[in-house]
Amino acid sequence: MSEHELDIKPLIDTAPLGRFQIRVLLLCALIVISDGYDAAAAGFVGPSLLSVLHVSPAMLGTIFAASGLGMFVGALTLGYLADKIGRKSVMLISITFFGIFTFLTALTTSIDMIVFYRFMTGIGLGGCMPMVTTMSAEYVPARLRHAVVTYVALGFTVGAIIASIVATSLLATLGWPIMFYTGGIASLILLPVAWLALPESISWLAVRGRDDARVRGLLARVLPKHAVPSNTRLVYREEKAPGMTVAHLFRDGRAKVTLLFWLVFAMNLLSVYFLGNWLTTLTHGAGFPLQTATILPAIQSVGAIIGTLAVGLMISRMNGYVVLCCYYLGAAISLVFLGYFGAQPAPIMVAAFFAGWFVIGSQYGANALAAAYYPTFIRSSGVGWALGVGRAGNIVGPIIGGVMLGTGWSIAIIWFVSAVAPTIAAFAIIGVRAAIVGSRNTMRDATPAMIK
């Protein structure tokens, strides 16, 4: 490196976590809280749609799946777009989509339009999480990256808790549209805040090498005490290559890891959204009053918060892949218990708590490991495609639940079948670790906590 070049990557990787980065992380957390609310809202209105609009269980599954299909499209297209036009621009596009179409969902009673609006909402939701994950990873020091990415993504669960509070307080008196009015308005209020206050990713700008002044300004905010001479060119020395970013997910020894990550995400997201979409409806069908059934997602979300805090600490200090394997096995057991305990209030609440702990907590851990694995120039595509392909589970899960419920399967059997997905994820995540350890080309992208 010449005397007129400065590699900012080691500076960011070793920087203290200052006020500027904390502000960025808090903004990302606010965005993902809104994302989490809008994603969870449909799960609370399931019983109301069945009774008020006379939606069949199979059609209810289609409504849930429409959002998943939109997330699939959003994660793949917007994740790729972010590696081309920037993280911030795509994040604003995502907020616009899920804000507008969540609000529009409240204005219609047409089942076809609800399906369409949930699909369009899903596009925004699907693009949001890869952006939050990527932006968080690119503004924090390496030693805190796993934990911080996990904790920022925890905002998704906070959003689900807020949705549960709104549902418990207002759903019975104001009807199902209140869930979507609340989420849509909150998201649209957040949009100008994000536009004004959220910076672009410093790593993305530096890798492109086209805007030295912006990189210099952001670096001064990340490291206010680090003076950079005006004649020094800032660079970000990390792997980059020409061509389509998606193709690079399968090059340099990444193919097996990428495919196994996709399987992990598909199985885990099937569990996450099956649980989120059907918990209220299935427990109400098992004999719980509606108001009681709407409390269970809040209990599940409390478990998710604790489980996420725990997984964030453990994957930073232990073998992250082994930790996730244990989480997936715990998820399978908790789903079995949801079916086993039926309508027994105390045991079902305990089962819902641990389902949140393991099912949702494991997804945040997987997000963090995927973000750490891929280099900057394909990070949004890597996380976006993992989440996007994972949405296949989000699409299939609600449909399967609707079909099983509509054809008369017992609620216990439905929960037992749902436990297959996290069991598969447990074996797949161990395969990811084995593939990383076995590939010399990918070892340089891994952190010691990931491969030890």
Per-residue pLDDT tens digits for 170-179: 887 888 899 9
pLDDT band at 240 (very low <50, low <70, confident <90, very high): low
State yes or no: pLDDT of 263 exceeds 90: yes
The arithmetic mean of pLDDT across residues 10-34, rounded, is 87
What the block records as the tokens of 106 is: 């409240």
Mind listing the pLDDT tens digit for each residue in 337-382? 888 876 677 788 888 899 999 998 888 888 888 877 887 777 777 8
The arithmetic mean of pLDDT across residues 62-85, rounded, is 81
Share of the chain above pLDDT 90, in %: 20
> Distance between CA atoms of 266 and 440, rounded to whole angstroms?
27
Mind listing the pLDDT tens digit for each residue in 288-337? 766 666 677 778 888 988 998 888 788 878 888 899 999 999 999 999 98
**CA distances (Å), origin 48, targets 156, 171, 178, 179, 294:** 24, 9, 12, 11, 12
Q: How many CB atoms lie within 10 A of CB 407?
A: 9
Q: What is the pLDDT of residue 211?
A: 74
Q: What is the pLDDT of residue 239?
A: 55
Q: What is the pLDDT of residue 2?
A: 47
> What CATH number is associated with residue 374?
1.20.1250.20
Count structural domains, the chain. 1
Contacts of 93 (CB under 8 A, 6+ apart): 78, 81, 124, 127
State yes or no: pLDDT of 132 exceeds 60: yes
What the block records as the tokens of 272 is: 């996450």
Q: What is the pLDDT of residue 68?
A: 78
- Is residue 342 in a domain? yes
The arithmetic mean of pLDDT across residues 204-222, rounded, is 80
Share of the chain above pLDDT 70, in %: 88
Mean pLDDT of the chain: 81
Q: What is the pLDDT of residue 429?
A: 93
Secondary structure class of 56 (helix, strand, coil): coil
- Is residue 261 in a domain? yes
Q: What is the pLDDT of residue 444?
A: 47
- Is residue 2 in a domain? no
Range(s) of the domain holding residue 205: 7-451
Q: What is the pLDDT of residue 449?
A: 42
- Is residue 1 in a domain? no
> Distance between CA atoms of 373 and 63, rounded to whole angstroms?
34
State yes or no: pLDDT of 446 exceeds 80: no
> Distance between CA atoms of 319 and 311, rounded to whole angstroms?
11
pLDDT band at 234 (very low <50, low <70, confident <90, very high): confident
State yes or no: pLDDT of 30 exceeds 80: yes
Secondary structure class of 233 (helix, strand, coil): strand
Distance of CA 121 to the CA centre of its chain: 15
**CA distances (Å), origin 67, targets 59, 64, 90, 188:** 13, 6, 19, 19
The arithmetic mean of pLDDT across residues 269-282, rounded, is 78
- Is residue 97 in a domain? yes
The arithmetic mean of pLDDT across residues 221-231, rounded, is 75
Secondary structure class of 6 (helix, strand, coil): strand
What the block records as the tokens of 26 is: 């808090």
Q: What is the pLDDT of residue 253?
A: 77
The arithmetic mean of pLDDT across residues 68-96, rounded, is 84
Secondary structure class of 7 (helix, strand, coil): strand
Of residues 198 and 240, the one with the higher pLDDT is: 198
pLDDT band at 190 (very low <50, low <70, confident <90, very high): very high
Query: What pTM value is reported for the model?
Result: 0.69
- Is residue 43 in a domain? yes
